[in-house]
Amino acid sequence: MSLEDWARYMREHLRGRVGESELLPREAWEHLHRDPTVEDGEVGRYGMGWAVHDRPWGGRVIAHSGSNTMWFCVVWASPEKGFAVLVATNVGGDGAAKGTDEVAGSLIGAFVGGEFGG
């Protein structure tokens, strides 16, 4: 998928959490962003493909990363703030995850403020 398509996909996640998506109802987006192994209201670690965290900069945030060993990408999103950051690199080896998270943290600090805590 292109970066533009990835951004559109993430925009739907953000729009969906406030009931503005034409793809799925709000409840479906909320379900996708919840760790199904914990009680309602608790923060777990992983649910429906998303890492779920509480962060000062974004409240309940979701994250996902991936690689094919030739590239690495990560997304951090705050549905509460309507904010997401996508970072990709054409490096897939050691250090790619750390590097993309550092860039994501810098962008989050610049646009939203607060400590990243990736």
pLDDT at residue number 20: 94
Domain count, the chain: 1
Detail the DSSP E strand segments found in the chain. 46-47, 50-55, 59-67, 72-78, 83-89
19: left (phi over 0), alpha (psi -120 to 50) or beta: left
pLDDT at residue number 44: 58
Answer whether residue 116 is part of any domain. Answer: no
Beta bridge partners of 89: 72
pLDDT at residue number 23: 93
Q: How many CB atoms lie within 10 A of CB 7?
A: 13
pLDDT at residue number 19: 92
What is the C-alpha to C-alpha distance for residues 76 and 58, in angstroms, rounded to an integer? Answer: 10
The string of pLDDT tens digits covering residues 12-69 is 999 998 999 999 999 999 888 877 666 655 555 777 788 888 889 998 899 999 999 9
Assess whether pLDDT exceeds 60 at residue 6. Answer: yes
Burial of 37 (0-12, 13-18, 19+ CB in 10 A): exposed
The string of pLDDT tens digits covering residues 62-102 is 999 999 999 999 999 999 899 999 999 999 988 999 999 99
Answer whether residue 118 is part of any domain. Answer: no
Answer whether residue 11 is part of any domain. Answer: yes
Look up the domain containing 83 and give its range: 3-111
Q: Give the residue, 17 or 113, on which the prediction is more confident.
A: 17
pLDDT band at 112 (very low <50, low <70, confident <90, very high): confident
What is the value of pTM for the model shown? Answer: 0.85
Answer whether residue 117 is part of any domain. Answer: no
